[in-house]
Amino acid sequence: MNFQFRRHFVLIFIACVVAVAPTRIAHAQEAEVVTTIGKEIVDALGKDAVEFGGDTAARQTANRLVTEATESVGNTGARIAKAQVERILASGRESLIFDLKSLSGKSLLLLEDVTDEALPSAVGTLARPGVGEAIESLSSITLQKAALAGETRLPGVGLKLVQHYGVEGAQLATDLTEDQANSVIAALRPNAINSLSSADRSKLLNALSSRADARVFNFQGITGSLVVVASGVVLWHGIDVTLSPDERVTELPDGTVIREKTSVGSRAVEAMPAAVRELSTPLIWTGVTLALGAIMISGILLFLHRRERMKGRESKVLDSEADRRSGVIDKTTSLMK
């Protein structure tokens, strides 16, 4: 009986040792990683390690990063955390090393796919207040990495695109300009866009991505139907009215658009002032030339007319003088007789 009891006790003890041993080994490995990272932080900062907080702050930071990374992905977390911290230290940028105090161990896992060139910007993004926590709250590692890339490219906007539109937002964060991105997250638009059918939402987002000058607006009011407009041309709309092919809209500062009466005829009328301006200079000179020509011709005709009148008057005077002389001669002749 006692023998059997001792046997069970030994088996239970062995089982406990076997169960606990990997954990103890993992803790030992983690402790070793923490010590290594803490020392590397101090060595990388050199004399500026005092400003960081010295050996104590370096070890505390290393311990927190390793613990959080391990809690997130298990034993591999310590290895990943060590690798990413060493990449940050290798950059030689003091500001990035100080950013380690603002990073979480979980966020270090997002840096695995980030290139060395993009690493400083990515670390700076994660260190911004509230950004790292918001990215970590997303449902999958894929969305988290997309949000990090988007927020790094479009600060203040990229993360919101992924938060509002998920996988589609991740693509938008890659394709859109900052102005375009702002147009789809402004005011009530995320709710309006997400309320569209899948087909309409895809059409809207595709239209927005099709041109760099495209923006999302509300039609005739901040709660109006959504339209995608580029330089006054409607690329897509969810309006229950028909827009003619040549119809345009005016973009207003409040993010809305209104219809223009821009049929072919009205566009011709609108084009007239510009056309007149273009033609005004040659028309003026043509008019001046014609006026001068008319004046010259009129002057010549008037001169010729006056000349003819003067000739007529001279002819009458000569005829009158001749008649007078003829009369005198006749009288003289009659007296002589």
Q: Where are the domains of the chain?
A: 37-127, 273-310
Instruction: Output the CA torsion sign for 190, 192, 198, 201.
Output: negative
Which pair of structure tokens corresponds to residue 171?
A: 């693509």
How far from 31 is each of 34, 70, 148, 259, CA to CA, in Å?
5, 12, 29, 68
Q: Give the largest CA-CA distance in the chain.
A: 207
Q: Is the pTM of this model over 0.85?
A: no
AA letter at 252: L
Which of 144, 79, 133 minimizes the C-alpha distance to 110? 144
Rounded to whole angstroms, how far apart are CA atoms 242 and 231?
Answer: 19
d(CA 26, CA 30): 6
pLDDT in single tens digits along all 337 residues of the chain:
555 655 555 556 555 444 444 444 455 667 888 999 999 999 999 999 999 999 999 999 999 999 999 998 888 888 999 999 999 999 999 999 999 999 999 999 999 999 999 999 999 999 999 999 999 999 999 999 999 999 999 999 999 999 999 999 999 999 999 999 999 998 789 999 999 999 999 999 999 999 999 999 998 887 788 999 998 888 998 876 666 666 788 888 888 888 876 544 444 444 455 444 555 566 566 666 776 776 777 777 777 767 777 766 666 656 666 566 666 555 566 656 5
